[in-house]
Amino acid sequence: MKNWYGIQRTLTYINTLEQVKSTGERDKIKEVLDDLIDYTQSHFSFEENLLEQVSYQYLPSHRGIHELFVKRLNDYRLKFEKGESIEKDLYRLLSKWLINHIQHDDQDYVDAVRDNMLSYLRKQEEKKGKGWFARFFS
């Protein structure tokens, strides 16, 4: 259940930052930072909603990790707006995030989602008052 799109997108940000580390192109750095913050917030919201639906027991700590990451991104935005150079630190942060969070922390919830999603979907069908089997033959 790897999120290949998210991994690819993170790699694109890392590669772009690698290219601008030497040039310091502020417009490109701003573009990466803005896109990264926007994508991260929407992705985390989706992921946390999914984990909530399957009653993932470690959701509070997982959400806390997300909140810290978003805070760090916002801190980088403030530094950038003050004219500070952030590309090297942001590059390091994303590189570590790719390995530590995406490859490890996110893998921790895969079994919980797989094991609980079918049960969750069945409950949703029951709430509708008619299961998929009955709808199929009606």
DSSP code string of 22-36:
TT--HHHHHHHHHHH
What's the CA gap between 101 and 62, in Å, rounded? 10
Residue length of the chain: 138
Whether the pLDDT of residue 134 is over 60: the answer is no
Whole-model pTM: value is 0.78
Report the pLDDT value the prediction gives residue 1, as an integer from 0 to 100.
Answer: 45
How do residues 70-116 score in pLDDT, each as one tens digit?
A: 999 999 999 999 999 999 999 999 999 888 876 667 677 877 788 78
pLDDT tens column, 2-61 = 566 677 888 999 999 999 988 889 999 999 999 999 999 998 999 899 899 888 999 999
User: How confident is the model at residue 122, as a pLDDT?
Assistant: 76
Instruction: Give the pLDDT of residue 79.
Output: 97
Q: Which CATH class is domain 4-136?
A: mainly alpha
Of 33, 50, 25, 39, which Cα lies nearest the Cα of 109? Answer: 50
Calpha distance 12→104 (Å, rounded): 20
Alpha-carbon distance 67 to 96, whole Å? 16
Q: Provide the Cα torsion 83, 84, 86, 89; round to 10°.
A: -170
